[in-house]
């Protein structure tokens, strides 16, 4: 199967600082791919190399089957992290203008721009200039300008930044629609919940190097699932030692202990707890979130640099 994006051994330095180190990335057509990392991880540099805005020092870039990005530029929609709009233009005119830059007929671009604005709740702002828009409204306009030409590959660098929860949900719906229409979507974000809900696969970067690539299920396996027990009184030392139980906190209702499941059956742990005479007031199973995995990997990368 042909890949939508393939980066092999991509490296990039700025003077003495290595921003990206031997980056490999393979993205399948129709996939939603989350590109995650802390500030300074190299995400934006990597995206700019992918887009042909920057050239790599070494490695191979292939986008939509081409190494020469100019051959496929009109099939790509790109929302950069640092955004800007022509403040004295109206939203339909601006979106249509971006469409014509991608080869669209002017009349059709204007018609499609109005349709997109109506659909995404900006029909009341058709005649207003961009300078009168809120940050969230302007962000929606720029997203629509990114997709007006119906691109095969959509690259969104921090698209949720500046959007309120309602408009974040609107953008999530749009990404879901792009996927249903067979488009390939790459987006970077600091908000792990967006990636958890939407991404087929995840790529976590720290210090310019890949820390993880895979789906959400594989990411969660990097940390143990934990059984949490709320007890009135401390369990005996023998139980704590044999099950590796650790005190998570003391609350009004009692003591909360955590036990890493590590392949054991929850029923067996609970049965052992009861056999040990432990009074359990509450029990829950905590599965690692992507946020927890992300923090773990980033800390691990930082410690390796020290």
How does DSSP assign 168-218, residue by residue?
HHHHHHHHHHHHHTT-EEEEEES-HHHHHHH-SEEEEEETTEEEEEE-HHH
**Helix, strand, coil content of the chain in percent (nearest 5):** 40, 30, 30
Query: Greater confidence, 85 or 227?
Result: 227
pLDDT at residue 1 is higher than 60 = no
SS3 state of residue 303: helix
> pLDDT tens digits, residue range 167-219?
888 889 999 999 999 999 999 988 899 999 999 999 999 999 999 999 999 99
Place of tokens 């309120």: 164
Can you tell me the mean pLDDT for 13-30? 94
Largest alpha-carbon pair distance within the chain?
78
Contact 5, 27 (CB under 8 A): yes
CA angle 181, 143, 41 (to 5 degrees): 100
Confidence of residue 292 (pLDDT cuts 50, 70, 90): very high
Residue-wise pLDDT tens digits, 46-104: 999 999 999 999 999 999 999 999 999 999 999 988 777 889 999 999 999 999 999 99
Fold of 226-287: Alpha-Beta Plaits (3.30.70)
pLDDT at 255 exceeding the cut of 70:
yes
Sorting pLDDT into bands at 50, 70 and 90, what band is 240? confident
Tell me the Cα Rg of the chain: 24
Give the C-alpha separation, 140 to 120, whole Å. 8
* Mean pLDDT of the 219-232 span: 90
- Name the more confident of 264 and 155: 155
CATH 3.40.50.300 domain locations along the chain: 5-220
pLDDT of residue 217: 94
Per-residue pLDDT, 181: 95
Contact 275, 263 (CB under 8 A): no
pLDDT at 155 over 80: yes
Pairwise CA distance, residues 273 & 268, whole Å: 9
Q: pLDDT confidence of 263, banded at 50, 70, 90?
A: confident
Q: What is the mean pLDDT of the chain?
A: 91
Mean pLDDT of 15-32: 94
Q: Which residue has the higher pLDDT, 204 or 254?
A: 204
**Cβ contact 199:31 at 8 Å:** no
Q: Which CATH architecture has domain 5-220?
A: 3-Layer(aba) Sandwich (3.40)
Calculate what percentage of the chain has a pLDDT beyond 70. Answer: 99
Query: What tokens appear for 177 in the block?
Result: 């629609």
pLDDT tens, position by position, 122-133: 888 888 999 998
Give how far Cα 190 sits from Cα of 34, 37, 43, 48, 268, Å.
10, 7, 11, 18, 38
CATH 3.30.70-classified regions of the chain:
226-287
Question: Stretch 259-263: mean pLDDT, rounded?
Answer: 83
The DSSP bridge pattern shows strands 226-231 and 246-251 to be: unpaired
Residue with tokens 């190399």: 49
């Amino acid at each position: 199967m042909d890949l939508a994006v393939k980066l092999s051994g991509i490296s990039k330095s700025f003077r003495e600082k290595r921003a990206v180190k031997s980056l490999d990335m393979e993205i399948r057509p129709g996939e939603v791919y989350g590109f995650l990392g802390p500030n300074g991880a190299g995400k934006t540099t990597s995206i700019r190399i992918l887009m042909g805005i920057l050239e790599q020092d070494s490695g191979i870039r292939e986008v939509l089957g081409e190494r020469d990005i100019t051959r496929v530029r009109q099939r790509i929609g790109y929302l950069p992290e640092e955004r800007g709009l022509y403040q004295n233009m109206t939203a339909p005119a601006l979106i249509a203008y971006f469409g014509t830059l991608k080869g669209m007929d002017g009349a059709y671009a204007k018609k499609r721009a109005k349709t997109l604005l109506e659909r995404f709740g900006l029909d009341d702002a058709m005649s207003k200039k961009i300078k009168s828009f809120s940050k969230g409204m302007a962000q929606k306009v720029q997203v629509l300008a990114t997709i007006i030409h119906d691109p095969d590959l959509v690259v969104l660098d921090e698209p949720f930044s500046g959007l309120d929860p309602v408009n974040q949900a609107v953008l999530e719906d749009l990404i879901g629609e792009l996927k249903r229409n067979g488009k390939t979507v790459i987006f970077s974000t600091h908000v792990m919940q967006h990636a958890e809900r939407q991404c087929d696969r995840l790529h976590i970067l720290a210090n310019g190097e890949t820390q993880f690539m895979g789906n959400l299920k594989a990411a969660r396996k990097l940390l143990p699932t934990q059984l949490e027990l709320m007890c009135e009184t401390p369990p005996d030392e023998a139980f704590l030692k044999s099950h590796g139980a650790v005190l998570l906190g003391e609350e009004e209702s009692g003591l909360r202990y955590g036990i890493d499941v590590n392949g054991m059956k929850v029923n067996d742990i609970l049965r052992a707890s009861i056999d040990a005479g432990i009074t359990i007031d509450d029990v829950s199973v905590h599965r690692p979130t992507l946020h927890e995995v992300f923090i773990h990997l980033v800390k691990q990368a930082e410690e390796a640099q020290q």
